[in-house]
Amino acid sequence: MTLLVAAWRVNAGDALYQDIRYTIDENHLTAEVTLNPRATGEVFIPEHIVAGQHNYTVVAIGERAFKGCKGLTAIVLPKTLQRVYHSAFDGTGIMLNKANWKDGCLWLDSILIATDKNIKPRFFVPEGTRIIAAGAFQGNKALQRVELPASVTRIDHETFRDCKNLQKIIIPATVTSIGEEAFTGSGIYLNEKKWKKGALIIDDCLVATNNDLPAKYIFKNKIPIRLIAERAFANRKNLKSVTIPETVKAIPTAAFYQCENLIEVIIPATVTEVGNFAFYKCELLKAATLPTGLKSLGMGAFYGCINLREQVLGDGIEVLGQGTFFSCRAIKHLQFPARLRRIDNGVFAGCSGLEEIKLPETLTFIGETAFAGCAAIRELTFPARINTLPKQVCQGCTHLYRVTLPEGIYAVGDEAFDGCLALEKINIPKSTFRIGVHAFRNCQQLRSIALVEHIHMIEEGAFMECKLLEEISLPSPLKEISPYAFFHCTSLRELIVPDSVKTIGDEAFAECRSLRRASFPATIQKIGAGAFRDCSNMRAPNFPPSVEIGKNAFKGTK
């Protein structure tokens, strides 16, 4: 009832707040307005929304967010807004109302949304304009010259794409980022005289490159590049080495995306930010030493860089986004930031050469598959602030033999240690109440495990294929032994089912060939199909006559 009354609803990264839908970013505590096809009347977008236990700052209007909402007549946009994506207001009542247009432009709260053929060939964007929406000038053939005021800090994706008559633009020093293909197909882009050695540079900004780029690219001092556009070097197959100048402060999103022959990048100390997918699948990249002053390392930044060597992460980094070092197989050692608080999904998944991980005590969150496939890791200690082990967190860590869990862990997630062939022993904290599906499947060296009294759920296949597991003490709160929970635990010798258990699931102890004795409580109600199938050494058990026994429950026993 409380949830129904509340102004928000959260589900899988989405939030509904005051009838407007948002996508939330838990890493940065930000929100983006997402698809709202039924928005009508006047809409108010606040600076902050509440979702769950957090406040999120609204920073963007997503692509096609209000597209086709003919009944949308007015909107108030927040000052926290940083971006407006493509077609956010296409076909809305706001855009269709000619009274909202002035000098060939549509403005909303100091944001330039779109332009048409009525724009002046020489256009001065008014002072105070904070944001120019993605694609705002795209395809505008009337435009010949543009001057941006100092109030603009970003030229967004495809802003001037296909403006074929655009020959001049004044970019102020306040602009700190340029989106991908911002000038592709424009008059400036098509003018061959503007290109120098495969690079298009406008007002000290490298906005694009082409296949004339030399294999070893060094920025000359005569051209003091201050920023690089997103995807500026993407897919340049001839590029092997890049030296980034000290005048650059950020390597933007997908800057070197799939530069498959890139071997070396020299990054100066001035760089404080590496964007999302900056070096995505640069498979030959070996050297890219990160500056100690780095404050932000984007998700997938080195995704698939299979030859990347050791990395030292500076103390300014607090979050490692999804897949940051995914499948970086050549990394053996990695130093973590002292203030790291979050490792997101799949950050080190597939880092099969990573031998040692020392997680800082500041860590409060570890995502799914964070260390999956880190086959060389032998020991792992989870810090005190971690309260759950997520799905597949250490799946396939085949040499992991020792794991230390802190008090406070309340759940071991699905497939958390699935396929950890060398795992011999693990402590289950007193706070734990759930062992997930296939959590310890195929842990072939696990001989014994003490399950604490608070455990209420042992999910399907939790310990299946643990072939050396000899003894198991089942906790008294347990009401059900799930299907396949101890399937093919061929060394298990004795089973005492506590009084709380009412049901033993299908195939729960099938093929436990060393099991000789099983003791059932008088309260047992159901033994599932094949529950003790092929337990070839099992003696005749005692159970109440009222129990429901499934098909082949004891087939293959004595």
In total, the chain counts a number of residues equal to 558
CB 288 within 8 A of CB 308: yes
At position 266, the amino acid (one-letter code) is I
CB atoms within 10 A of CB 119: 16
Per-position pLDDT tens, the chain of length 558: 233 223 333 344 789 999 999 999 887 889 999 999 999 999 999 999 999 889 999 999 999 999 999 999 999 999 999 999 999 999 999 999 999 999 999 999 999 999 999 999 999 999 999 999 999 999 999 999 999 999 999 999 999 999 999 999 999 999 999 999 999 999 999 999 999 989 999 999 999 999 999 999 887 656 689 999 999 999 999 999 999 999 999 999 999 999 999 999 999 999 999 999 999 999 999 989 899 999 999 999 999 999 998 888 989 999 999 999 999 999 998 888 989 999 999 999 999 999 988 999 999 999 999 999 999 999 999 999 999 999 999 999 999 999 999 999 999 999 999 999 999 988 899 899 999 999 999 999 998 888 878 899 999 999 999 999 998 888 888 999 999 999 999 999 999 899 999 999 999 999 999 999 888 888 899 999 999 999 999 988 888 888 999 999 999 998
Residue 164's contacts (CB-CB under 8 Å, 6 or more residues apart) are: 141, 185, 186, 187, 190
The answer as to CATH 3.80.10.10 being correct for domain 2-178 is yes
- Calculate the CA 211 to chain-centre distance: 32
The radius of gyration computed from the CA coordinates of the chain, to the nearest angstrom, equals 30
Distinct helix (H) and strand (E) counts, the chain: 3, 48
Per-position DSSP letters for 364-400, written without gaps between them: -EE-TTTTTT-TT--EEE--TT--EE-TTTTTT-TT-
Where in the sequence of the chain do the CATH 3.80.10.10 domains occur? 2-178, 191-308, 312-432
Closest CA to 357 of 371, 347, 340: 371
Closest CA to 299 of 205, 389, 370, 386: 370
Cα gap 33→60, rounded to integer Å: 6
Cα gap 274→384, rounded to integer Å: 29
Q: CB-hemisphere CA count at 13 Å for 133?
A: 28
Quick check: helix, strand or coil at residue 242?
A: strand
CB 440 within 8 A of CB 466: yes
Torsion of CA 242, 273, 128, 70, to 10 degrees: 100
Pick the CATH number of 191-308 from 3.80.10.10, 3.40.50.970, 3.40.1360.10, 1.10.10.10: 3.80.10.10
CB 132 within 8 A of CB 155: yes
Per the confidence metrics, is the pTM higher than 0.85? yes
Residue 544's contacts (CB-CB under 8 Å, 6 or more residues apart) are: 520, 522, 524
CB atoms within 10 A of CB 556: 15
CB 56 within 8 A of CB 128: no
CB 152 within 8 A of CB 174: yes
Q: CB-hemisphere CA count at 13 Å for 4?
A: 1
Pick the CATH number of 312-432 from 3.30.2130.10, 3.80.10.10, 3.40.630.30, 2.40.37.10: 3.80.10.10
Closest CA to 505 of 474, 536, 526: 526
CB 527 within 8 A of CB 549: yes
* DSSP-assigned beta bridge partners for residue 127: none
Helix (H) or strand (E) holding 146, with range, is: strand 145-147
Cα gap 414→396, rounded to integer Å: 13
